[in-house]
């Protein structure tokens, strides 16, 4: 009898936990629902009404039409910046992680220690100094300048995560290849790189999202006359046309899209990166 009631109690507990968790997820995701809905509404529906409507009556594509015609180039700029950030991060982090995992340097401790400290540095500190340095180097309003600055989000994380992953690779496989006559370079390109693929994908994804989501460096280093990423144009949008929420939200949908798509397509890499970045203690 008591066994049955215990089982029933457990099932009730599971049901309650499920309802609680799903309700929490619904609350967490509501803002995104609201953005998508607002992006299909006209401004008069958003503002003419004195109240917020959770289920709007009419849908319009006019916001998207305006945003696509006016903001298409900004989406392209964001893509260039994000892809550039990912490429630069990989170019710096992959060889460095390999060297730090395979060879012993006098500076290994110093370098990993400063990478950990670099992760802590507030970006506004970097932005303040780099703005003046860039001014001298003529790197303001340029893709290379912005990409280098954006890589500061990703490089320390990328090296540390990838190095930890590479340290865990089986050493005897690489040693055996070396005995069989493979050069260091061949061992790196033919063995280490393919075996590290999951970690490399993870750091590339995070670097892409860092570049895509950057606002602080775009805000400080671009004057808006050359190119601007989506984050910056959303900011100018709500400044200039603070009443035009429909278009701002349609643009926000574009800004959110890569994160959503990557979460669907590459969820395990994202989750891996999230845990790898912090549970190394």
Q: Per CB under 8 A, which of residues 218..247 are in contact with other proteins?
A: 219-220, 230-231, 234-235, 238, 245
Rounded Cα distance, 143 and 13, in Å: 54
272 touches other proteins by CB under 8 A? no
Rounded Cα distance, 247 and 216, in Å: 22
Quick one: DSSP state of residue 48?
I
170 touches other proteins by CB under 8 A? no
Q: In angstroms, give the least distance from the CB of 1 to other proteins.
A: 19
Q: Which member of 38, 147, 174, 203 binds other proteins (CB under 8 A)?
A: 38
x-marked contacts with other proteins along 187-216 as a string, rule CB under 8 A = ----------------------x--xxxxx
Listed ranges 1-9, 55-63, 156-164, 193-201: which one lies at the site for other proteins (CB under 8 A): 156-164
Q: How many residues belong to the chain?
A: 281
Q: Which member of 9, 135, 171, 190 binds other proteins (CB under 8 A)?
A: 135
255 touches other proteins by CB under 8 A? yes
- Considering CB under 8 A, how many residues would be counted as binding other proteins? 110
Closer CB to other proteins, residue 68 or residue 169?
169
Q: Which member of 86, 147, 148, 187 binds other proteins (CB under 8 A)?
A: 148
Query: Which residues from 83-122 bind other proteins, rule CB under 8 A?
Result: 91-93, 95-96, 98-100, 103-105, 107-109, 111-122
159 touches other proteins by CB under 8 A? yes
- Structural contact between residues 215 and 231, judged by C-beta atoms closer than 8 angstroms: yes
Q: Which member of 58, 136, 138, 197 binds other proteins (CB under 8 A)?
A: 136
Residue in 245, 232, 236, 230 with CA at minimum distance from that of residue 39: 245
Closer CB to other proteins, residue 185 or residue 194?
185
What does 204-256 look like in DSSP terms, one character per residue? HHHHHHHHHH--HHHHHH--SSS---HHHHHHHHHHHTTT-HHHHHHHHHHHH
Structure tokens given for 112: 């990993």
Helix residue ranges per DSSP H, 40-142: 43, 62-102, 108-120, 123-137
Rounded Cα distance, 250 and 71, in Å: 10
260 touches other proteins by CB under 8 A? yes
Q: Which member of 4, 5, 51, 225 binds other proteins (CB under 8 A)?
A: 51
Q: In angstroms, give the least distance from the CB of 173 to other proteins.
A: 16
- Structural contact between residues 210 and 153, judged by C-beta atoms closer than 8 angstroms: yes
Rounded Cα distance, 177 and 181, in Å: 7
């Amino acid at each position: 009898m008591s066994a049955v009631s215990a089982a029933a109690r457990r099932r009730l507990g599971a049901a309650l936990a499920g309802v609680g968790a799903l309700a929490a997820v619904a609350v967490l995701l509501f803002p995104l629902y609201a953005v998508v809905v607002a992006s299909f509404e006209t401004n008069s529906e958003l503002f003419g009404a004195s109240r917020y409507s959770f289920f709007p009556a009419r849908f319009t594509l006019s916001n998207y039409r305006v945003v696509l015609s006016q903001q298409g180039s900004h989406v392209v700029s964001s893509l260039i910046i994000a892809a550039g950030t990912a490429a630069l991060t990989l170019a710096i982090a992959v060889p460095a992680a390999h060297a730090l995992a395979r060879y012993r340097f006098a500076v290994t401790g110093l370098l990993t220690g400063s990478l950990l400290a670099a992760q802590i540095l507030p970006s506004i500190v970097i932005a303040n100094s780099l703005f003046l340095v860039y001014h001298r180097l003529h790197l303001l309003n340029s893709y290379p300048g912005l990409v280098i600055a954006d890589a500061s989000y990703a490089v320390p994380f990328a090296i540390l995560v990838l190095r930890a992953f590479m340290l865990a690779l089986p050493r005897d496989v690489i040693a055996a290849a070396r005995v069989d006559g493979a050069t260091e370079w061949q061992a790196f390109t033919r063995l280490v790189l393919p075996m590290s693929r999951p970690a490399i994908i993870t750091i590339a994804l995070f670097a892409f999202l860092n570049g895509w989501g950057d606002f602080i460096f775009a805000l400080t280093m671009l004057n808006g006359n050359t190119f601007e990423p989506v984050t910056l144009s959303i900011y100018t949008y709500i400044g200039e046309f603070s009443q035009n929420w429909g278009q701002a939200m349609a643009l926000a949908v574009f800004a959110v899209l890569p994160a959503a798509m990557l979460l669907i397509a590459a969820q395990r890499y994202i989750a891996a990166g999230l845990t790898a970045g912090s549970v190394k203690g």
